[in-house]
Amino acid sequence: MISYFGNDLLRESWIAGMPIPSGISELDVAGLTPLPSKKVKPGGIAECPVNIDCYSDWNCHLIGTFEQWLEDEQKRGKLSEQEKTKLFELNAEW
């Protein structure tokens, strides 16, 4: 799983990347929330706006559609209806 974070999570990302002893959760130490994955064993991070499932061959795959991702982000409270509409419009232009 690859979880992308914004500048607002820079400190937490730095903490999670520190050499933490085995058996201690990096997410717990950094104060982040685990997000269960639907497709792969490792989960994502709830505070991250983007979580991408990756398989052991290091080929990364977005699971689902852009529209599904926007719906999920809105349900999680990360995206307003106005923001979702604007992203749909921008996506259509691309």
For residue 56, what pLDDT is reported?
61
Question: Using 50, 70 and 90 to split pLDDT, how confident is the model at 32?
Answer: very high
Domain locations along the chain: 1-63, 64-94
Is residue 43 over pLDDT 60?
A: yes
Is residue 81 over pLDDT 60?
A: yes
pTM value surpassing 0.75: no
Q: What is the pLDDT of residues 44-59, one digit of tens each?
A: 888 887 777 766 655 5
Q: Per residue, what are the HEC states of the chain?
A: CEEECCHHHHHHHHHHCCCCCCCCCHHHHHCCCEECCCCCCCCEECCCCEEEEECCCCCEECCCCHHHHHHHHHHCCCCCHHHHHHHHHHHHHC
For residue 51, what pLDDT is reported?
77
Q: What is the pLDDT of residues 55-77, one digit of tens each?
A: 665 555 555 667 777 787 788 78
